[in-house]
Amino acid sequence: MPNPTDTFLSGSNIDFIEGLYARWLEDPASVDPSWRELFSGTSPGGRPLLGSTDGRPGQTNGHPANNGSAVSAKGANGHGAPAATAPARGQVVTVGDMPAALAAMQLQARVDQTLYAFRLRGHLLAQLDPLGRPRPRMNHIADLAMASDAAFSPEELEQVVDSSEVFSDRKRVKLRDLLSRLRRTYCGHIGVEYMGLLDSGRRRWLMPRMEHTENRLDPSKAEQRRILEKLTYADTFEAFIHTKYQGAKRFSVDGGESLLPMLDTMLELGGELGVEEVVIGMAHRGRLNVLTNVLGKSPDQIFSEFNGPVDPRKFMGRGDVKYHLGFSSDVTTSGGKRIHLSLAFNPSHLEFVHPVVEGRARAKQQRLEGQDRRKVLPLVIHGDAAMAGQGVVAETLNLARLRGYDTGGTVHVVINNQLGYTTDPEDGRSSIYCTAVAQMLDIPIFHVNGDDPEACVHAMRLATEYRQTFQSDVVIDLVCFRRYGHNEGDEPSYTQPLMYEAIRHHPPVSELYARTLAGEGRLSAEDAEAIREEAKRHFLQAYNLAKETPQLREPSAHEGLWKGFRGGPEEGIPEPETGVPRATLAPLLEHLARVPPGFTPLRQMGKILERRAAMARGELPLDWSAGENLAYATLLGAGTHVRLTGQDTERGTFGHRNAVLHDMKTGATFVPLQALGAGQARFEVYNSPLSETGCMGFEFGYSLDYPDALVLWEAQFGDFANGAQVIIDQFIVAAEDKWRRLSGLTLLLPHGYEGAGPEHSSARLERFLAMSAEDNIQVCYPTSSAQIFHLLRRQAIRPWRKPLVVMSPKSLLRREEASSSLSAFTSGRFQRLISDAPAGGESKVTRLLLCSGKVAFDLLAARGKAGDDTVAIVRLEQLHPFPEAQLRAEIARYPALQELTWVQEEPENMGAWSFVLPRLTGRVSATGRPLPLRYAGREASASPATGFQKTHELEQMLLVDAALSRGQPDGR
């Protein structure tokens, strides 16, 4: 017998019910009718007396008790009075002689408690490991016995109790049968975490689907055959490469082959439930297998990739390993539904593709009429070690329910082979499950034994239906093993000798399953063998084809949505005017200065809007905010979708943007850029969560599937972008070189030395420049409102799709010199270089100060103050692609030129200096004289900037002085 003090049936509940019971014995009319029903053992509505319908004990059909409860055997009782009749008034009730109804109630309460324990904690006892080893991290868990027969006496096990809807067809069942069904449902090959779901509707949705089936599939022979085929093709493919390309890295799925029938199920059922597209993200493990056996990439192409290029020169410095390549295809389900599949290209960096996949799915969904998210399903396949270890997973999961990021639920599958390279789960995570992080989303998590393919398929059916029904994420943890080393050249027994001893003797799933099917008379051994022979033939044919005619194809590019867009070198790309006629511009700006009738903005906001109206009338030059907002407004008006996200981006960290206005009286919001009028394209602006990697990855993904949109991600301060360094390094700068994937993502990174300290000064321009090559990205440092206007418009209007990195300003947002007159917007284009010749003309210029960004204004002021006519100042507004032709023309402009000086605010080891040095060295003047090159800027430093405002000012003064002073060869 269990110790009653271990249970929730203790303490005050017992006292309370005992008291009620005693009163009922005294006078049945003195207690609430519901209690009368209970104590007399009747239930007119035919409802269960105890036990709840959603599986939580204690929430019992409106009974007044806050917890369904039982009495311990110390109550008072009459002389064995029959349960249905109240004892005679004044009868003495004695201890240990409870009426049968009360005893039954007590048993039922314990049953309910046990039922609850199974539902809540049964997964801890589930048989998940194909290798049958003890679970990791379970030592501290007590009272597991609650979910077992041991909680009851042999006599109790024979009693008939309420089934609490565990059975679809029986209300009352023998306790023994109830417990065995619960054990099979919750402690078999599927363990499920779902009782934590806060919505009882969702618990109740899942409960019968699991309990009425004992959490098992009830497959037809045809379905079983299909499962076996998927398993057999999976391991035959791996075995084929294993023998033909010995020792080659393939990161085989062996040990986790059940993934294949699971994915097949997701598509088959998903198709029925309205899924039209699936965007897939996955790492190395099993990727080649999924490519050929799910996406239908022809195996000869994969084998050709193993063979490598016929001419290695063709891929110098580019391309990627075969297990990182993406692919897309259309598949047709057996029910005749066509589903478009895209497997995202991804880098080695585990899990970073997760936000990219979400962004891609969101973009596809946004294109749909009505934005029905059910039609596009993101599927992310994780590794157990990576899921638990990589923070990007948490950042991405946190996006799931945000209005700017929701993708209607992601299906997650973890290939949990219980190892990360050579690291055991005990060293890889603090949680029992590798999926623990996903619990934050309040979603069901299924853990399933990979050796039971039918259980795997069943879990996937539940997961797919759940996603389609509730538009929620859902996780399946596929517990399996890894047959070989981390890759096939690696010997796993160095570090996991016992595990691999067990694996050596463990047959493949296909074999186990074929044996089961044969044993049950569902499919003969000969039929199973025939499937294998067919699979072998299929791969051998492809192998021969790859040998005879190599199929090494470049990833296809610029198809579908991407038709008409271009990557590659900038040369030859048209550069249209980006000016907009005044007749269009002025009314737009006026519009951006207005609020709807009855809308009360903050008083200060009213002033800002008045200034904007004055700009529209041509009375004031346009500030940065006007320039930026006008870029969006004009693009939206011309049909370009604009999406802008980042931390506090709606207002703008420095308060300049005010894209979302707030009514002081009602709290209502108004977005002027969404109210431009009929026919405008969609403008989305969202404050993002406090994440860089997750959010930037998402926007990169969005840009992949929305080439015709202007997609911008803004950093709070430029430094914080390094929180997303992997997204920058692995995706943004290299996607085209590795995968021929283009993106027009724009990063707005506030940058500039203003004394704000080491962390709020630098967007690490040097890093972007170090990664600039082959016209892969555009790195710009615009210094006026007209420049940002033309730059953003150029980004959307040109067919050239390249990421744009903008060193965007902080103080310049309000600095007068950064404003531009309306006429600067009505014609022209982005200037890659801005030249300021001195008042005295070009002929006197002997020195050219080259710089980028806001330091130009400091130099201009100092030159003006000194009245120096010998210095010309040139701002590079674009650093990459480097404006070579313009610079050449600039140097040629000054016949008396004697030297060049590079001026920057950043320390010498940072900023653009290292990038421009080789590009400025060896220049000659118009007359052929070699031009010495000087550096004027902060000294090399480990940290980007000083923490003291006064020191900053001193440094700034010294560097400007050094730049303008003559005759100090190194400028210091």
Ligand X SMILES: Cc1ncc(C[n+]2csc(CCOP(=O)(O)OP(=O)(O)O)c2C)c(N)n1
Q: Does 728 sit near ligand X (CB under 6 A)?
A: no
End-to-end CA distance of the chain: 87
Among 350, 380, 445, 963, binds ligand X (CB under 6 A): 350
Alpha carbon distance 856, 862 (integer Å): 10
Question: What H or E segment, with its residue span, contains residue 336?
Answer: none
Alpha carbon distance 372, 408 (integer Å): 8
- Token readout for 276 is 């039209």
Task: Please tell me what DSSP assigns to residue 773.
Answer: -
Q: Which stretch binds ligand X (CB under 6 A): 116-124, 267-275, 411-419, 503-511?
A: 411-419
454 interface partner picked from ligand X, Mg ion, none, CB below 5 to 8 A per type: none
Q: Cβ of 162: how many Cβ atoms within 10 Å? A: 20
Q: Which stretch binds ligand X (CB under 6 A): 418-426, 562-570, 665-673, 925-933?
A: 418-426
Beta carbon nearer to Mg ion, 55 or 420: 420
User: Cα 441 vs. chain centroid, distance in angstroms?
Assistant: 13
Our CA angle for 785, 660, 759, nearest 5°, is: 60
Q: Which stretch binds ligand X (CB under 6 A): 18-26, 346-354, 855-863, 898-906?
A: 346-354
Alpha carbon distance 918, 921 (integer Å): 5
Q: Does 360 sit near ligand X (CB under 6 A)?
A: no
Q: Does 179 sit near ligand X (CB under 6 A)?
A: no
- How many positions of this chain bind ligand X (CB under 6 A)? 15
Q: Does 417 sit near ligand X (CB under 6 A)?
A: yes
Write down the least CB distance from residue 485 to Mg ion, Å: 12
266 interface partner picked from ligand X, Mg ion, none, CB below 5 to 8 A per type: none
Residue facing ligand X at closest CB distance: 383
326 interface partner picked from ligand X, Mg ion, none, CB below 5 to 8 A per type: none
Beta carbon nearer to Mg ion, 188 or 383: 383
Beta strands in 581-681 (DSSP E): 642-646, 661-662, 669-670
Beta carbon nearer to Mg ion, 70 or 387: 387
Which residue intervals of 448-594 are DSSP H helices?
Answer: 453-470, 497-504, 509-519, 525-548, 582-591
Contact pattern from residue 448 through residue 487 relative to ligand X, giving x for each residue in contact according to CB under 6 A and a dash for the rest: ----------------------------------x---x-
Beta carbon nearer to Mg ion, 31 or 419: 419
Q: Cβ of 111: how many Cβ atoms within 10 Å? A: 24
Q: Does 380 sit near ligand X (CB under 6 A)?
A: no
Q: Does 392 sit near ligand X (CB under 6 A)?
A: no
Alpha carbon distance 504, 58 (integer Å): 50
Beta carbon nearer to Mg ion, 147 or 385: 385
Q: Does 588 sit near ligand X (CB under 6 A)?
A: no
Among 66, 220, 332, 348, binds ligand X (CB under 6 A): 348
- Token readout for 621 is 């030059």
945 interface partner picked from Mg ion, ligand X, none, CB below 5 to 8 A per type: none
Residues 6 or more apart whose CB falls under 8 angstroms from that of 741 comprise: 326, 345, 555, 557, 704, 735
Q: Does 324 sit near ligand X (CB under 6 A)?
A: no
Among 146, 415, 588, 593, binds ligand X (CB under 6 A): 415
Write down the least CB distance from residue 259 to ligand X, Å: 11
Alpha carbon distance 626, 672 (integer Å): 12
Alpha carbon distance 774, 760 (integer Å): 30
Alpha carbon distance 370, 364 (integer Å): 12
Q: What is the identity of the amino acid at 231?
A: L
Q: How far is CA 410 from CA 210, 354, 373, 397, 463, in A?
A: 21, 10, 11, 9, 10
354 interface partner picked from ligand X, Mg ion, none, CB below 5 to 8 A per type: none
Among 87, 326, 359, 383, binds ligand X (CB under 6 A): 383
Write down the least CB distance from residue 750 to ligand X, Å: 28
Alpha carbon distance 536, 300 (integer Å): 13
Q: Does 385 sit near ligand X (CB under 6 A)?
A: yes
Q: How many CA atoms lie within 13 A of 380 on its CB side?
A: 32
Write down the least CB distance from residue 529 to Mg ion, Å: 32
Q: Does 730 sit near ligand X (CB under 6 A)?
A: no
Beta carbon nearer to ligand X, 257 or 623: 257
Write down the least CB distance from residue 495 to Mg ion, Å: 13
Among 8, 167, 421, 565, binds ligand X (CB under 6 A): 421
Q: Does 386 sit near ligand X (CB under 6 A)?
A: yes
**Interface residue list for Mg ion (CB under 5 A):** 383-385, 417, 419-420
Beta carbon nearer to Mg ion, 421 or 565: 421
Q: Which residue has the tokens 């030592």?
A: 139
Q: Does 746 sit near ligand X (CB under 6 A)?
A: no
Alpha carbon distance 832, 781 (integer Å): 9
Write down the least CB distance from residue 233 to ligand X, Å: 20
Q: Does 285 sit near ligand X (CB under 6 A)?
A: yes
Q: Which residue has the tokens 């103080």?
A: 811
> 835 by DSSP, 3-state: which?
strand
Write down the least CB distance from residue 496 to ligand X, Å: 12
- Token readout for 528 is 């199973």
Residues 6 or more apart whose CB falls under 8 angstroms from that of 200 comprise: 54, 56
The DSSP bridge pattern shows strands 642-646 and 710-714 to be: parallel
Among 48, 51, 408, 420, binds ligand X (CB under 6 A): 420
Q: What residues make contact with ligand X under the rule CB under 6 A?
A: 285, 348-350, 383-386, 415, 417, 419-421, 482, 486
